[in-house]
Amino acid sequence: MVGKVEGRKIRLFLDILVESEWSIGGRGGNFLFVVFGVDGPFLYHRQISQSNSLLSTAQLSSMDNIHQPQNNHKIKRRRILILSAFLSLLVVAVVSIAVSQSHKNHGGSDGGGVAAQAVVKSTCAATLYPDLCISTINAAAATASAAVKSSKDVLITALNYTITTVERNFFTVKKIAAGRKSSLTPREKGALHDCLEVIADTLEELRDSKAELKDFGFKNYSLSDHKEKLMTLLSAAQTNQESCLDGFSHDTADKKIREALIAGQMHVFRLVSNVMAILKNLTDAEIAAKGSNKMSDSSMGRRLEEEDQQAWPEWLSAGDRRLLQASTVTPDITVAADGSGNYRTVAAAVAAAPSGSSRRYVIRIKAGVYRENVEIPRAKTNLMFVGDGRTTTIITGSRNVIDGSTTFNSATVAVVGGGFLARDITFQNTAGPSKEQAVALRVNADLCAFYRCDMLAYQDTLYVHSLRQFYTGCIIVGTVDFIFGNAAVVLQNCDIHARRPNSGQRNMVTAQGRDDPNQNTGIVIQKCRIGATSDLKPVQSSFPTYLGRPWKEYSRTVIMQTEISDVINPAGWYMWNGNFALDTLFYAEYQNTGAGAGTSNRVTWRGFRVLTSASQAQPFTAGNFIGGGNWLSGTGFPFSLGL
């Protein structure tokens, strides 16, 4: 072991430096040093008189160029030798401290390292990728400020490591985008832009998770709700990795770039999976307990919800409920295509809205057809769109995959800012069935609700991408996979209609994208009506229609207490690709009615089930699945917390 250098010896050495060879003519003054010795840090302070003053290293360098005494060379040599000796002693001190600290953190004579490894191993055993979990914690522990003593310490360490990895991954993708810029197709450029956007979202969601973990048990809602919010954020962060890669799945050229990205994206996917698994397996008390590893504020980032706002996750405040119910709403600004409002376009009104608003900001959109693509950015929180009616206020676009867009950025309206509300509006994509994926509305924002809105398109109409969402009294129309994504979403009292697709196509109502068994996501359709549009009804026997198919491995969709027409094929559900996900998906039906509700001829997959008791269905009610008891009571429009 390297020998120790005690603080008293460093003090003595500094005295020699100050009082002898480095004392040259000039002004005196006070000199302050912070020194780190083996026996702890200390402050060194000396006052030097004018006759024996000390200059800084930078001043010494400049003085050598000005003064030319006879013994200048010898003075320089002495200074260098003394400085070298001093730095050597400091290096020895630092090494000694590091070795001493390493022994404290990783074993020493008390066996602490063995105990820490036992904690790491037992905690990581609950993850899907235990070897990665253990190697991650060990790598991070090498620079940690405290030893791992509990499962919460493992959780904090894994989360910090994941945040750092995502930061690096962002710049890696940015470098790939810059390096291939001249050879990229428009869709590839768009897909890389999507990647950078969702990676940035991932970073925000992980930082928000870190902040939530730090505040666990200190907010005005229950520990179980607090934990559910953490699971929601982590589920979204994980979903983003798949969304990045999905943009490069359209043709052979796209897939070449996918190969360059997949290692980094899947590494982050697995890291987030491990964090989520650790969190899920901790009790509320364990999460609330103070850990050995401090939750520093250095990577906290911006919080979407300020402490003085309404008490999330009580999504809708009393004021928001009144806004949703009121026959008239006083807007902050008005959009009118005819020029009678503050703005002519919805996008201009969104741009003018305040960022990070702590109150509801209402944008009235007067009757008219608005041909534009609108994005509500992450910074634009708590916005509300109020239309003049679902048949009169229409926002429409036509972006689609065939014409060079990605599915992600084909959305006519994309909501990224949290706390978004909308009522009495139609969101539409008119690309048509031959243009493949063409989204009318995409929502990857938390705490969003839609009332009396229409989502009209063909393939991929409503992209419920991630986080928590609620739809009531809405109409959703489409063909293939027309309600898809990986949000935790409940649709109640909605009319869901399949329309006539292209020849040879099958209609799929849902394509849920849950890709990890620990995610708290899924699509719940409750007390709705599933049927066919007028153009499909006469020919529905030529176009089979199904309740859904598994987009991802752990796809989860529950349809309960819903009227299902005979447009739905007796098999009910359809496969995605051979046997993919048939054993791991979760598809369930409960107390449905109508000509298409019979289950005797349903698929016999291991993952499909008919729920036979209220206790089996209760976890998928609005009260349990999205914590509706915190925010739905008192809204005034149709909803149900239970069955």
Separation in Å, CA 61 to CA 57, 58, 435, 462: 6, 5, 71, 68
3-state per-residue secondary structure call for 215-280? CCCCCCCCHHHHHHHHHHHHHHHHHHHHHHHHCCCCCHHHHHHHHHHHHHHHHHHHHHHHHHHHHH
Separation in Å, CA 81 to CA 16, 31, 37, 574: 13, 21, 21, 80
* CA 156/CA 136 separation, integer angstroms: 12
Return the structure tokens found at 361. Answer: 């900001």
Burial of 608 (0-12, 13-18, 19+ CB in 10 A): middle
Cis peptide before 377 (omega within 30 of 0): no
Nearest to 583 by CA among 606, 567, 610, 603: 606
- Specify the residue for token string 């008192």: 634
Query: Helix or strand or coil: residue 519?
Result: coil
Return the structure tokens found at 586. Answer: 């979760």
Return the structure tokens found at 493. Answer: 């009292």
Burial of 140 (0-12, 13-18, 19+ CB in 10 A): buried
- Specify the residue for token string 């697709």: 501
Return the structure tokens found at 627. Answer: 């914590």
Question: For 55-150, where are the alpha helices, taking DSSP H only?
Answer: 57-66, 72-105, 112-124, 130-141
The DSSP H or E segment spanning 10 is helix 7-19
Nearest to 177 by CA among 277, 292, 257, 296: 257
Whether the CB-CB separation of 271 and 161 falls below 8 Å is answered with yes
Give residues with Cβ within 8 angstroms of 521, minimum separation 6: 235, 239, 466, 486, 487, 488, 512, 513, 514, 556
* CA 18/CA 334 separation, integer angstroms: 72
* CA 159/CA 510 separation, integer angstroms: 32
List the catalytic residue out of 194, 460, 481, 516: 481
* CA 64/CA 68 separation, integer angstroms: 7
The partner residues of 35 in beta bridges, in order of sequence, read: 42
User: Could you give the strand order of the β-sheet that contains 545-548, starting from the edge strand earlier in sequence?
Assistant: 374-376, 413-415, 441-444, 462-466, 483-485, 507-512, 545-548
Angle at 398 between CA 394 and CA 403, to 5 degrees: 175
Burial of 11 (0-12, 13-18, 19+ CB in 10 A): middle
Nearest to 151 by CA among 121, 172, 178: 121
* CA 184/CA 178 separation, integer angstroms: 10
Is 481 a catalytic site residue?
yes
Q: Kindly give the interhelix angle for 186-214 and 151-179, rounded to the nearest 10 degrees.
A: 160
Beta strands in 377-418 (DSSP E): 383-387, 393-397, 413-415
Active site (catalytic) residues:
481
